[in-house]
């Protein structure tokens, strides 16, 4: 069976310090504990979708270290078809994460093997990409690789691009190649140059991306839910979510994107607003637990209403 959701994206090894709060610039603070776990926005989103029951595949690159081998085992355990190139002279991608007691995080990543993904790797995965219902991409691998995958996929199914981490210089081709572009508020500010204060600035920022040729834009707002707009209806629509006490927001965006891809692939008749609402429910679940993969809810732990 072909995979309904295909991710072309990153794998990272997450080195996380849990700390009372995030340090200020130049400051050293004493943390509480330390963990090494598996992350990366590409892999996280793929796993989030898989845990909801999606048939998934990932096309990615790992380093020639023990972490790379361990990650292959995780893909097996999670039932993900993994099309992985191991880079002989490079380490796996690394994320240095700080998580504060209020659940906030800050992250520095080193791309490592993710930076060495090749056009050839995409070409040899053409079959997998072409047969996807949803193609899911992020900004943690070279943009030219993402663009190439999107070109292979063009005219097939639904492409979703998560513009994270954000960059000011998005290649202009991207906007017409992706059906849905999704970022959080900070990323939206970097990408559009619009300072987000209130709904009129959000409307303005979203229109900026629609004008560039993007079909639908979603901006996630953490505990406030998300807003979206599209070419057919450019007026922003807001979707709320329930308020919770978060312990770790790392990967909440990935939970949202994996879930959103799931609802688009498996419930294609649901409205945009309903897909966003259900994805927010999954993301909200994820902030109640530590880590990324371990915090993504399994289908069996969620209300059956979500899958109706
Ligand atoms: O989105 C969360 C992820 O961002 C972490 O798992 C880390 O690897 C970084 O890529
Ligand atoms: Na979490």
Q: Give the model confidence (pLDDT) of 214-232 as tens digits.
A: 999 999 999 999 999 999 9
pTM higher than the cut 0.95: yes
- Residue 231: the pLDDT is 97
Work out whether strand 5-8 and strand 134-138 pair parallel, antiparallel, or are unpaired. Answer: parallel
Q: What is the mean pLDDT of residues 231-251?
A: 97
Domain boundaries, given as residue ranges, for the chain = 5-11+40-92+113-307
- Residue 2: the pLDDT is 76
Q: Pick 5-11+40-92+113-307's CATH classification: 1.10.1660.10, 3.40.30.10, 3.40.1190.20, 3.30.930.10.
A: 3.40.1190.20
Q: Among 44, 94, 290, say which to mutate for ligand 1: greatest number of ligand atoms within 8 Å of CB.
A: 44
Q: What is the mean pLDDT of residues 40-60?
A: 98
What does each C-alpha distance from 299 to 132, 223, 288 come to in angstroms? 21, 22, 16
Q: 138: CA distance to ligand 1 center in Å?
A: 11
- Residue 187: the pLDDT is 98
Give percent above pLDDT 70 in the chain.
Answer: 100
For the complex shown, is ipTM > 0.90? Answer: yes
Residue nearest to atom 2 of ligand 1 (CA): 251
Runs of H (alpha helix) within 154-241: 173-177, 185-192, 199-211
Confidence of residue 65 (pLDDT cuts 50, 70, 90): very high
């Amino acid at each position: 069976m072909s995979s309904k959701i295909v991710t072309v994206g990153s794998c990272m090894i997450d080195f996380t310090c849990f700390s009372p709060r995030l340090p200020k610039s130049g400051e050293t603070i004493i943390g509480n504990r330390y963990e090494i776990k598996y992350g990366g926005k590409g892999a996280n989103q793929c796993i989030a979708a898989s845990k909801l029951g999606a048939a998934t595949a990932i096309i990615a690159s790992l380093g020639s270290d023990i972490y790379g081998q361990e990650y292959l085992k995780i893909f097996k355990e999670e039932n993900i078809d993994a099309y992985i190139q191991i880079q002989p002279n490079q380490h796996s991608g690394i994320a240095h994460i700080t998580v504060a007691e209020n659940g906030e995080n800050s992250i520095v990543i080193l791309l490592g093997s993710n930076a060495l993904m090749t056009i050839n790797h995409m070409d040899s995965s053409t079959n997998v990409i072409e047969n996807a219902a949803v193609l899911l991409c992020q900004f943690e691998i070279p943009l030219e690789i993402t663009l190439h995958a999107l070109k292979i996929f063009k005219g097939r199914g639904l492409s979703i691009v998560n513009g994270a981490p954000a960059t000011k210089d998005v290649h202009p081709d991207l906007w017409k190649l992706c059906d849905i572009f999704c970022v959080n508020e900070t990323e939206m500010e970097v990408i559009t140059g619009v300072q987000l204060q209130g709904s009129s600035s959000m409307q303005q920022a979203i229109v900026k991306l629609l004008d560039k040729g993007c079909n639908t834009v979603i901006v996630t707002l953490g505990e406030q839910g998300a807003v979206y707009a599209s070419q057919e209806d450019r007026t922003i629509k807001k979707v709320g979510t329930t308020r919770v006490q978060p312990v770790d927001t790392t990967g909440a965006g990935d939970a949202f994107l994996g879930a959103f891809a799931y609802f688009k692939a498996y419930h294609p008749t649901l409205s945009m607003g309903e897909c966003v609402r259900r994805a927010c429910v999954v993301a909200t679940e994820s902030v109640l637990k530590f880590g990324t993969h371990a915090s993504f809810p399994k289908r069996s732990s969620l209300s059956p209403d979500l899958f109706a």
